[in-house]
């Protein structure tokens, strides 16, 4: 899907913001879309490398059916090359080793497993769902027919065309806003900042429920100025947009930096609240007060969490049981 023929047997991919021009016999930056004699093929359609039943809180999506299960799937591949990737063993294999692993399945089989596991949603996650767009698209259509929702956990680097295509079937997305610096994106992700910002605006415009995650990496994206810029941008999207501030742990090619101090997360939390955001969360710190959801009007505890577990739920039809204020998000 989303490609066109070009001159001399090349093809132009219109799926993600890289907009690769792919020569015959070559693959795009993602490593999973290949030009075969002037036709662009997906190498991962129906080849799933991960399939698990997760709590929706693990995505993290805190305002989408709290306490529900999400059947979570992925194929190999990614259109980013983040030096701090937490799933590099599956996301970077096609690019680094040229191989694609996984087991064969179909959209219908995935939806059946979601139904059998009593999952309320299917999450396209772990790697980047944009690179297995055809599988996600067909699965999401099938899921919608059987009453299952669909959510993306994504870097947000897709084109407007891709978002317009998937939006009728996509209920929610958690988008990584990794930094507010184009230099950071170019150096550490092999990408650019602006397409991510554009995607976030487009998702909101299309009515997709959006939550945003920023992994705070010491010395790289944790300055007050950068955090204020991120918070201000999110406030511009809408103060109801949740911001998840997550703790970094050394991984992949970024082993030389320490884990993020918890106080840095608390500082970012305060910046988010001072900017007028209604919902700010701290992640990867189980037991921290920043895991909880409080009513934006009366301040009462609405959802109490420990890690990915719901321990207290004071909601009635999506409203605070104390003052009746509707909690922003997708609720039964």
CA distance 213 to 29: 24
Q: What is the pLDDT of residue 62?
A: 98
> Are residues 116 and 16 part of one domain?
no
Please report whether residue 198 resides in a domain: yes
What one-character-per-residue DSSP string does 233-302 give?
HHHHH-TTS-EEEEE---BTTB-SSPPPPHHHHHHHHHHHHHTT-S-EEEES-TT-GGGSEE-TTT--EE
Q: What is the pLDDT of residue 43?
A: 97
Q: For residues 18 and 100, state if they share a domain.
A: no
Query: In which domain, by residue range, is 20 found?
Result: 3-42
Please, which pLDDT band fits residue 24 given cuts at 50, 70 and 90?
very high
Which backbone phi and psi does 21 adopt, to 5 degrees?
-100, 115
Are 108 and 27 members of one domain?
no
Q: What is the pLDDT of residues 170-182, one digit of tens each?
A: 999 999 999 999 9
pLDDT tens digits, 108-140: 999 999 999 999 999 999 999 999 999 999 999
Say if 328 falls within a structural domain.
no
**% of the chain with per-residue pLDDT over 90:** 98
What is the domain count for the chain? Answer: 2
pTM of the model: 0.97
Same domain flag for 82 and 25? no
Confidence bin at 332 (pLDDT 50/70/90) = confident
Q: Span 97-106, mean pLDDT? A: 93
pLDDT, tens digit (0-9, with 9 covering 90-100), for 271-314: 999 999 999 999 999 999 999 999 999 999 999 999 999 999 99
Q: Is residue 326 part of a domain?
A: no
To the nearest whole percent, how much of the chain has pLDDT over 70? 100
Are 38 and 70 within one domain? Answer: no
Residues 204 and 314 both lie in one domain? yes
Answer whether residue 325 is part of any domain: no
CATH number at residue 282: 3.20.20.70
Q: Give yes or no: residues 283 and 224 share one domain.
A: yes
Could you report the per-residue pLDDT of 243-257, keeping only the tens digit for each?
A: 999 999 999 999 999
Looking at the structure, tell me whether residues 94 and 23 fall in a common domain: no
Q: What is the mean pLDDT of residues 38-63?
A: 97
Give the residue-averaged pLDDT of 94-109: 93
Q: Is residue 202 part of a domain?
A: yes
Do residue 15 and residue 164 come from a single domain? no
Q: How far is CA 37 from the centre of its chain?
A: 33
Name the one residue in this structure whose structure tokens are 């003052």.
323
User: Does a structural domain hold residue 329?
Assistant: no
The answer to whether residues 3 and 35 touch, using CB atoms and an 8 Å cutoff, is: no
**In-domain check, residue 172:** yes
Based on the fold, state whether residues 141 and 220 are members of the same structural domain. Answer: yes
Q: Are 119 and 27 in a shared domain?
A: no
Residue pointed to by tokens 């939390």: 269
């Amino acid at each position: 899907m989303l490609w066109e023929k070009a001159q001399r047997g090349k093809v132009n991919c219109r799926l993600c913001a890289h907009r690769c021009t792919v020569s015959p016999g070559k693959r795009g930056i993602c490593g999973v879309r290949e030009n075969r004699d002037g036709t662009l093929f997906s190498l991962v359609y129906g080849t799933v490398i991960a399939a698990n039943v997760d709590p929706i809180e693990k995505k993290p999506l805190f305002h989408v059916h709290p306490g529900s299960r999400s059947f979570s799937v992925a194929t190999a591949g990614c259109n980013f090359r983040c030096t701090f990737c937490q799933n590099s063993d599956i996301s970077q294999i096609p690019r680094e080793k040229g191989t694609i692993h996984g087991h064969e399945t179909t959209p219908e089989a995935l939806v059946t497993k979601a139904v059998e596991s009593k999952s309320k949603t299917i999450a396209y996650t772990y790697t980047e769902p944009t690179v297995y767009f055809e599988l996600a698209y067909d699965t999401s259509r099938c899921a919608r027919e059987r009453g299952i929702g669909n959510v993306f956990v994504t870097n947000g680097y897709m084109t407007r065309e891709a978002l317009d295509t998937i939006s009728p079937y996509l209920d929610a997305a958690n988008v990584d806003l990794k930094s507010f610096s184009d230099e950071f994106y170019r150096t550490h992700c092999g990408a650019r900042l602006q397409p991510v910002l554009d995607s976030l605006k487009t998702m909101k415009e299309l009515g997709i429920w959006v939550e945003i995650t920023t992994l705070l990496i010491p010395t790289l994206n944790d300055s007050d100025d950068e955090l204020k810029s991120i918070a201000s941008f999110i406030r511009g999207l809408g103060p109801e947009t949740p911001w998840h501030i997550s703790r970094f742990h050394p991984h992949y090619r970024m082993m030389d930096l320490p884990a993020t101090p918890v106080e840095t997360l608390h500082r970012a939390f305060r910046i988010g609240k001072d900017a007028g955001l209604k919902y700010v969360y701290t992640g990867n710190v189980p037991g921290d007060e920043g895991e909880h959801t409080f009513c934006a009007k009366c301040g009462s505890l609405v959802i109490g969490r420990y890690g990915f577990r719901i321990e207290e739920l004071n909601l009635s039809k999506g409203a605070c049981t104390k003052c009746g204020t509707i909690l922003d998000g997708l609720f039964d």
